[in-house]
Every structure is written in C-alpha cells, then in structure tokens.
Amino acid sequence: MQVSVESCFKVLPRGGVASPRGFRTAGVVAGLKSSELPDLALILSSVEASVAGVFTKSIVKAAPVLLCENFLQDTKGRATCILVNSGQANAATGEEGLRDAFDMSDIVASYLPETSPNQVLIASTGVIGKRIDVSLIDKALPDLIGKLGNSDEHNMDAARAIMTTDLVPKYISVEWECKGQVVTLGGMAKGSGMIHPNMGTMLSFLTTDISISPSLLRLLLQNAVDKSFNAITVDGDTSTNDTVLIMANGLSNVTVEPNSPEMELFEKALTWCCEHLAKSIARDGEGATCLMQVEVTGTNTDRDAQTIARKIASSTLWKAAVYGRDPNWGRILAAAGSAGVNFDPSQVSVWLGEYHLMKDGLPLSFDKAAVSEYMQKAAEAKYLSGMDQVNVYLKIGDGSGYGKAWGCDLSYEYVRINAEYTT
Amino acid sequence: MQVSVESCFKVLPRGGVASPRGFRTAGVVAGLKSSELPDLALILSSVEASVAGVFTKSIVKAAPVLLCENFLQDTKGRATCILVNSGQANAATGEEGLRDAFDMSDIVASYLPETSPNQVLIASTGVIGKRIDVSLIDKALPDLIGKLGNSDEHNMDAARAIMTTDLVPKYISVEWECKGQVVTLGGMAKGSGMIHPNMGTMLSFLTTDISISPSLLRLLLQNAVDKSFNAITVDGDTSTNDTVLIMANGLSNVTVEPNSPEMELFEKALTWCCEHLAKSIARDGEGATCLMQVEVTGTNTDRDAQTIARKIASSTLWKAAVYGRDPNWGRILAAAGSAGVNFDPSQVSVWLGEYHLMKDGLPLSFDKAAVSEYMQKAAEAKYLSGMDQVNVYLKIGDGSGYGKAWGCDLSYEYVRINAEYTT
C-alpha cells in the first residue's frame, strides 16, 4: 500500500500550485480580513485546462460551491483559473451571496481577455453569514494579476493567502519522468480546524501539466480524496465550503489514458500529494500537539478497515488519551467496536508504535512508561518532521482489507480556542 | 409530544427500583473498587417477572452482556433479580471472564432457594481488561441480601453502588392510577461519561408492578430507549457494557395489553422516566457545566429530526461554543447540514431559548450579550434544577417530523479528566 516516494517521485518541498508548466500564482492583501493578512489568491493556467472538483457533502452549501458545480457542468470540466478568498465564507448569504460569487468570476474574466466568466472558479473560506465586499476584490485584482509568477515565493504567498486559522502554510509538489518527459504535480491546502466561528473549511487546490480528460481526472481525484482528505478528522464536523479542485493543462505533452502505466504513476503521485496535504491539515488541528495515524488491517474490505480507522482517529476519548500520553488501548477497542463493522473481538490485536498492547482480544502486559514516552516523543518532535506522529495499528482478523486515517490529539487548547472566541 | 407529567403521574423524586410492589434493593461495599465505595447492588422481585433488555450495539460485548442475552433467550424473558457490580467491566476478559459472569449468577442463585441461575441477570461497569474477583462477591452476598429493603435509602444505596465516575446518583419513580389500582414504575441509572479509562458505561435498571408479556415489554422498552438513552451523547463513544433492563412483576394486578389505554399510559411513564434518567446522565457528563436540549421540527420524518438533533448535540464545535456561552448559530447550521438528512437550507430557522437567531436560512441580528447571558444563566442554575439547560430549537421545513436530543457542553475539565488519568 505504502508508496515509496523516493523511488518514483522527486519531492519539491517548496513547490506548489505554480510548479507545473504553464501555471502561475500569487497571493495579496485585498482587505477582506480585519487582520490585514493576505486574503486573496489566484491560480492561472496559460491555456485552458481539464478541471475536476470534489465538494462538501453538507446539505448547506456555500455560494462558491454552488458556482463551481454550476460552471463545471456548463463547461464539461474546463477552466483557466481559480480565485480563492479568505475572510468570508460566503455561506448563509442567500441569493445576494450567490450573485456576489458570480460577480467575482465576472470581475476576474474582465481582466483576462481570453477567459470567459464560467472558466473562473471561485472558493471562499472565513466567517459564515457575512457578505464579501466584492469592490475590494475588484480593487485588488490588478495587483494580484501583476504579481503572478511561479517561484517558491509565489507558491508560499498563495498558500498563505488561503489560510484562516492555520498555523503554517501547506504546499508541496512532486515531479517524475514519464515517456521521457518530466511531469509535475503541485498543490496547496488550508486546514479544517474550526477556530474562529465558522472558519472551518478544508480547501485544497492541485495543478498538473499532464493531459487528461475531465472525466478520468474526476475519477482519480475522488479516489485520492477518499484516501486522504476524507480520512482526516480534526473535530468530525463538515464545513459548508469544503472544496478540492484540480487543473490539468496538458503542457507536459504526456497524456494519461485510462488504465495505462502513466495513469498508475499519476494516481500514486496524486494520492501521495493529497495524503501529504491532508496530514499537514490534521497535524495543524486546533491545539494539536501531535499527529495520530491509525492503520487497520485484516477486515474483509478496504472500506471496513477505513471506517474503523476513522472511528478511532475521531474518538474524543482516545484523542484525549493521546494528549495525556496514556496508552489506553481500551478506548481504541471501544471506538473500533462502535464503528458499525462486524468483526470477532477475540481476534483483535493492537499496537502503539512498536509496542504490542493486545493480542487475540486479550490485554498483554507492557511497559506503560515506555509506551507513554513513545507518545511524548511524538509531541516533542519537530512540527511536521514526520516524527511528530503517534502510530496506532490494529489487526482485526485475517481478511485482506486495509485502511488508514489521520487525526490529532484533543488538548485544553482546542477547548480554549473554540470556547473563548465570542462571535 | 411533551408529556405533562403532573397531569398523568405523580413523581416520587426519591423513589427508585424498589418503589413498585414486591421489589427490594440494596447496595454494599464488596471491595471491588479500590476506593472502598459501594460497588455491588441487587434488585430482587418477590415473584418471577417479565424482563426485557436493550444492550450495546458495539461489536465488542462484555461478558455480562453476553450472559444476559443468553439467559433472556433461555427463559423467554423471565427473571427474578439483577446483580450489578461497579469496579470492573468484565470486558476483554475472554473465556475466563464469561465463566466469572456465570459464576456470579450461580452464587446469587445459591442464596435464593427458589431462583435458578438463569433467572439472575448480571451487569458490570468499570475497568476493561481486568477480571472480577468473584470471591469478593461471594463474601459480600449475605450482607447484600440481608440489607434488601424498599425505602428511599435503599433506592439511593443501590443507585450509589452502580456509580463509577458519576457525580450524583440517579434514581426516580412515578406512580399513576389505572383501573382503580395504583401502579408504579421505578428506575436508576449510571452515566456514560468516560472519566477513568474504560469506565464509560451507561447502565439503567427499571422495575414496575404492572403485568405485561416479555415481548410487549421489549417493544415498549426499545421505543423508550430510542427516545431517551439513545438520544443523549456525552462524547459519542459506545461502551462494551451498555445495558438497559426492565422487570415487570405483575403485583399491581393491572395487565397491559397491546394498544390498550393502559399500554399508552405505561408507555408515557416509561418514556418519561427514561428521559429523566437520560437527561441526568447528560447533565452529569464529564466536566459539563450545563445540559443542552436540541429540538428539531419540520422534517419529513421523526427519524430525520432526531438524526439532526443528535448531530447538533454531539458537535464538539457547538459543545465548545456552549461552554464559551457563544451563540454561534453557524456551528448549529454546520452540524445540521452534515447530518446526512436532505433539507432546504433556505427554510431553516434557529432559536436559542427565546432568541430567534436565523430565519429562512439567513442570519437575523440579535442581542448577542443577552443570548450569551441566557446561556450563562443555565450554567449558574442549580444542578439538575431543570433550569440548567440551554435550549436549541431548529425548524427545518414544513414537515411533521419531530425529534429531540440531549448533550452537555465541552469544557477544559473534560480534557483534563480524560487526558490526565494514567492507566
């Protein structure tokens, strides 16, 4: 299951959405945030690109989500750019909010001669129930377009401009060889932690220079999102604005056909990038001191394994135990048992890191101090170093099912952040 | 929907499982808890009773749950007593634990000449993965049986003996007139808050002197549990030991037939008692400063309304906002939208107490300080006074569906309790 990244891909840790050929990006201060931090980003392809999106399953969808769904249907999955604002989510804003979103596309198109409004996708994140001041966007656009570029700084600026309460910007790119060409995939994301009221949106944008049909791109994106963004949980809540968009502009001249070796490699790269961004989001969960990775094997299906893994990663009791560095396997077992998946409890084994805590449904004796220290070390490891991760491993039976999920611990800080803010 | 208790029933606030005719109870210190607090209770009917049970849906079931399911099938729903211990949950104890549970039934039966072992039901709560020292139960039983009685003190003693980390014992009874006879229903419960590791079990025991078939009793109990214990959420986790048992010994000489007026009255009493005990458990959630009641109307079905109500009552973001006395309707809306129930967001209205926060999907302006003060007053109200409750009300549409759920706020204390304990 595990992709050995090094053997297939070259990771560019400071790359991002402008790394693939023909993409440029920028992030500026438009004045939408009272903090006067960057709040507007644009991702622009020099040629029309195939586009696919995965959106929130919430019944309460923000205006930009409705716009994207509408445009992607209109254009059959083609676009040239994505405008992203932070500050206001443009959710619970009714008909007026929807008009604002369409106005934003119109404004961007008016600055880009060869782009029609329905080729300008929009994403928003921030406070719910407040309208966006569209005149500020109009005012900021010349500056934003003037600053477009494809350096490491451009990737970082864009990633910063989409942040709300994230502590760190999240961006990455990978490149690999395919049919004698170098192809590149870049991405950025902002977190799902809901600090300030209603700012809890997970946004991610990916770009690549492969050539691919919108329908195949849609399929591969959905698979990658299921294994990554849908496998993280900070507090179990779903936002009105959650959006993942990918653009593929074909400028590498490498075409990805269904079930080809090129597709397999691209899918691995896409899944790896999405997992990397998803883990960055989980690690940056509100008040989190460490990342938690849960792997489940031995179920009948992958779906069953992932369901159990997600249940454990989102158990507030187990999350609090991780914060307390308490190897309390009973909470892992209780979460697994309540996931709605059938299994034989007398076959369950549980590990924390290298430590075997339970075998065939019965507790083993283990060195509690050593396991607790293992957990503490994860919290003391450098942020996003790869070591700041507590590994939970469950073997449920003899099936071939495998699933993975990520979460973070539950700290005082989570409660403070979410309780002390006053709307 | 709301039963006006006063008009139908007389509530006996210090009554309990020994209030109905022919029932006696007691609680003693058997030494199962290191704290030397009471840890063993018995509920005994003077004649064989109809019995029904609702058990944890977790795939990981504790030994006493397996024993109860086994005995209820054996006896077709007949029993004379229930033995309950706190201290150890007898879960994740394998074959040996199952043998311990059966031994406990044998021991009780050996002290009660006319009772066979399969008429002795067992429930346990406490630490997972530790065996019960059955010799301590054998030693304590003469004292326990000698102390059986039906006074207010006996009801309280039994309710105390089943507590683990509950702050207050939870017990109640109601009586009403039926065909010229007084009939009585009593109950007690312990909480679902999981403070110490793996002690998070919801147990409730009910007794009545009506005459009813086990199959009808099972049906009515399941309905009442769905509206009460299944509608509370402290942290969303399900225990290995969750159990609700009801005994009906017929000594009032009032028989409840299907779809009779007597059944209707009994069902109301049963639902009210279960709701009262369930709310007591939610209010006593770990670190909780107030109870939260969520009512949802206007869905197509009651099930839809209850699904949405439960999603809101269990949203950690909204729970943290309640702790912060922050009338953050966006979090209510986000939770409702992610409940998996279809509705039209532009028809949603939200109230907190008397305050109307949102209408037809759009935010209203309201006096935030006043709403915040309303929430604060709930936290300052006397514990379980009925005033220590924040009321959330959602109108989703024009359907006739109605549902209710209860939860508590999420405080620093929850995290402290769950993180700082070391196994």
Interchain CB distance below 8 Å, B334 and A60 = yes
Give the residue numbers of B annotated as catalytic, written as ranges: 201
How far apart are the C-alpha atoms of B103 and B125, rounded to whole Å?
17
Residue of B nearest to A316 (CA): B235
pLDDT value, residue B3: 44
The span from the CA of B112 to the CA of B118, in Å, is: 12
Provide the shortest C-alpha distance from residue A138 to chain B (in Å). Answer: 26
Q: Looking at CA atoms only, how far is residue A341 from chain B in angstroms?
A: 8
Tokens of B115: 């009772």
A61 annotated to bind ligand: no
Where in the sequence of chain A do the CATH 3.60.70.12 domains occur? 5-283
Tokens coding A44: 């622009």
Q: What proportions of chain B, in percent to the nearest 5, are helix, strand and coil?
A: 35, 25, 35
Cα–Cα distances (Å) from B151 to A83, A232, B13, B154, in that order, read 72, 53, 12, 5
Helix (H, G, I), strand (E, B) or coil at B68: helix
Closest CA to A391 of A310, A316, A291: A291
- Do B44 and B81 touch, CB atoms closer than 8 A? yes
Q: How far is CA A91 from CA A7, A41, A60, A201, in A?
A: 43, 19, 8, 11
The arithmetic mean of pLDDT across residues A303-324, rounded, is 90
- Subunit contact A421:B324, Cβ cutoff 8 A: yes
Q: Which of A362, A411, A422 sits opposite B324 (nearest CB)?
A: A422
Contact A334 B60 (CB under 8 A): yes
Which residues of chain A are within 8 Å of residue B419 when distances are taken between CB atoms? 320-321, 323-324, 326, 410-411
Q: How far, CA to CA in Å, does B332 sit from each of A62, A92, A240, B236, B316?
A: 15, 12, 12, 17, 11
Hey, what are A202's tokens?
A: 């997970």
Report which of A73, A15, A69, A21 is spatially closest to residue A44, judged by C-alpha positions: A21
Test B418 with A316 for CB contact under 8 angstroms: yes
- Distance of CA A173 to CAs A184, A186, A208, A364, Å? 7, 4, 9, 43
Selected for mutation to probe chain B from A95, A196, A328 (highest B CB count within 10 Å) is A328
Q: Which two tokens stand for residue A135?
A: 């005149």
pLDDT for A387: 82
Mutation target to probe the A interface, by most A beta carbons within 10 A, among B57, B233, B333, B352 is B333
Q: Do A418 and B368 touch (CB under 8 A)?
A: no
Which of B130, B237, B289, B390 is the best substitution to test chain A (most A C-beta atoms within 10 A)?
B237
Start-end ranges of CATH 3.10.20.340 in chain B? 291-420
Give the pLDDT of residue A236.
56
Q: What is the pLDDT of residue A3?
A: 44
Q: Which residue of A has its CA nearest to B320?
A: A419
Judge: B60–A321 Cβ closer than 8 Å, yes or no: no
Per-residue pLDDT band at A410 (split at 50, 70, 90) = confident
Residue of chain B whose Cα is closest to the Cα of A322: B419
Nearest-by-Cβ selection for B198 from A240, A330, A358 = A330
CB contacts of B92 in chain A (<8 Å) are: 330, 333, 345, 358, 361-363
Yes or no: say if B112 and B73 are a contact pair by the CB < 8 Å rule: no
Q: What is the CA radius of gyration of chain B?
A: 22
Q: Was A10 annotated as part of a binding site?
A: no
Contacts of A60 in chain B (CB under 8 A): 333-334, 336-337, 345, 348
State the count of interchain CB pairs (< 8 A) between A and B: 214
Length of chain B: 423
Give dist(CA B268, CA A159) in Å, integer: 57
Q: Considering only CB atoms, which chain A residues are within 8 Å of B200? A: 317, 334
Q: Backbone dihedral region of A309: left (phi > 0), alpha (psi from -120 to 50 degrees) or beta?
A: alpha
- Selecting from A60, A330, A423 the residue whose C-beta is nearest the C-beta of B326 gives A423
A316 is in an annotated binding site: no
Contact A237 B331 (CB under 8 A): yes
How far does Cα A275 stand from its chain's mean position?
8
* pLDDT (0 to 100) of residue A300: 96
Does A170 carry a binding-site annotation?
A: no
Tell me which residue has tokens 């549409």. Answer: B397
Contact B195, B226 (CB under 8 A): no
Confidence category of residue A196, pLDDT binned at 50, 70, 90: very low
Closest by CA position to B292, among listed B388, B164, B363, B178: B388
The contacts of residue A337 (CB under 8 Å, 6+ apart) are A345, B58, B59, B60, B238, B240
The answer for residues whose C-beta is within 8 angstroms of residue A182's C-beta and 6 or more apart is: A175, A176, A252
Length of chain A: 423
Residues in chain B closer than 8 A to A414 (CB atoms): 316, 320, 415
Q: Give contacts of A361 with chain B, Cβ < 8 Å.
A: 92, 94
* B139 known ligand binder: no
Amino acid at A383: Y
B5-283 carries CATH number 3.60.70.12: yes
In chain A, which residues have their Cβ closer than 8 Å to the Cβ of B196? none
pLDDT digit string, tens, across residues B140-157: 999 999 999 999 999 999
CA atoms within 13 A on the CB side of A220: 30
Taking each helix axis from N to C end, the angle separating B63-74 and B94-111, rounded to the nearest 10 degrees, works out to: 50
Distance from CA of A320 to the nearest CA of B (A): 5
In this complex, the residue of A127, A236, A240 whose CB is nearest that of residue B316 is A236
Residue A423 known to bind ligand:
yes
Residues of chain B with pLDDT under 50: 1-3, 194-199, 422-423
Q: How many CA atoms lie within 13 A of B173 on its CB side?
A: 28
Q: Which amino acid is at B159?
A: A
- For residue A314, name the pLDDT band (cuts at 50, 70, 90): confident
Q: What does the H/E/C string look like for chain A?
A: CCCCHHHHCEEECCCCCCCCCCEEEEEECCCCCCCCCCCEEEEEEEEEEEEEEEECCCCCCCHHHHHHHHHHHHCCCEEEEEEEEEEECCCCCHHHHHHHHHHHHHHHHHHCCCCCHHHEEEEEEEECCCCCCHHHHHHHHHHHHHCCECCHHHHHHHHHHCCCCCCCCEEEEEEEEECCEEEEEEEEEECCCCCCCCCCCCEEEEEECCECCHHHHHHHHHHHHHHCHHHEECCCCCCCCCEEEEEECCCCCCECCCCCHHHHHHHHHHHHHHHHHHHHHHHCCCCCCCEEEEEEEEECCHHHHHHHHHHHHCCHHHHHHHHCCCCCHHHHHHHHHCCCCCCCHHHCEEEECCEEEEECCEECCCCHHHHHHHHHHHHHCCCCCCCCEEEEEEECCCCCEEEEEEEECCCHHHHHHHHHCCC
* Strand ranges for B191-336 from DSSP E: 203-208, 232-233, 243-248, 291-299
What is the number of other CB atoms lying within 10 angstroms of the CB of residue B352? 22
A92·B333 Cβ contact <8 A: yes
Least CB–CB distance from A194: residue in B92, B317, B421: B317
Q: For the segment A232-285, what is each residue's pLDDT rounded down to a tens digit?
A: 865 556 788 999 999 999 999 999 999 999 999 999 999 999 999 999 988 888
Catalytic residues of A: 201
Distance from CA of B113 to the nearest CA of A (A): 36
Tell me the residue type at A361. Answer: G
The residue written with tokens 């909470």 in the block is A331
Question: A120, A128 in Cβ contact below 8 A?
Answer: no
pLDDT of B316 reads 82
A92–B361 CB contact, under 8 Å: yes
Among B147, B158, B202, B124, smallest CA distance to B18 is for: B158
Amino acid at A401: G
Alpha-carbon B75 to chain mean position: 25
| Option in A58, A321, A418 nearest B419 (CB) | A321
From chain A, pick out residues whose CB is under 8 angstroms from the CB of B296. none
Q: One-letter amino acid identity for A397?
A: G
What's the confidence (pLDDT) of residue A288? 85
The nearest CA of chain B is from the CA of A298 a distance in Å of 16
Give how far B350 is from chain A: nearest CA, Å.
13
Closest residue in B to A418 (Cα–Cα): B320
CA distance B9 to B102: 39
Q: d(Cα B411, Cα A194) in Å, to the nearest integer?
A: 16
Nearest-angstrom CA–CA distance, A254 and A232: 32
Per-residue pLDDT reduced to its tens digit, A121-169: 999 998 888 899 999 999 999 999 999 999 999 999 999 999 988 889 9
* Chain A CB contacts of B308 below 8 Å: none
> Which pLDDT tens digit goes with each residue over A42-59?
999 999 999 999 998 888
Cα–Cα distance, A275 to A270 (Å, whole number) = 8
Structure tokens at B358: 């949102």
Q: What is the CA radius of gyration of chain A?
A: 22
Please name the CATH architecture into which domain B291-420 falls: Roll (3.10)
Contact: B237, A335; criterion CB under 8 Å: yes
Q: Do B240 and A333 touch (CB under 8 A)?
A: yes
Query: Are β-strands B243-248 and B203-208 bridged in parallel, bridged antiparallel, or unpaired?
Result: parallel
What does the pLDDT read at residue A2? 41
Q: What one-letter code names the amino acid at B160? A: R
Whether the CB-CB separation of B193 and B235 falls below 8 Å is answered with yes
Nearest by CB to A238, from B59, B240, B334: name it.
B334
Compare CB distances from A92 to B239, B317, B362 and report the shortest one's residue.
Answer: B362
* Three-class secondary structure of residue B92 per DSSP: coil
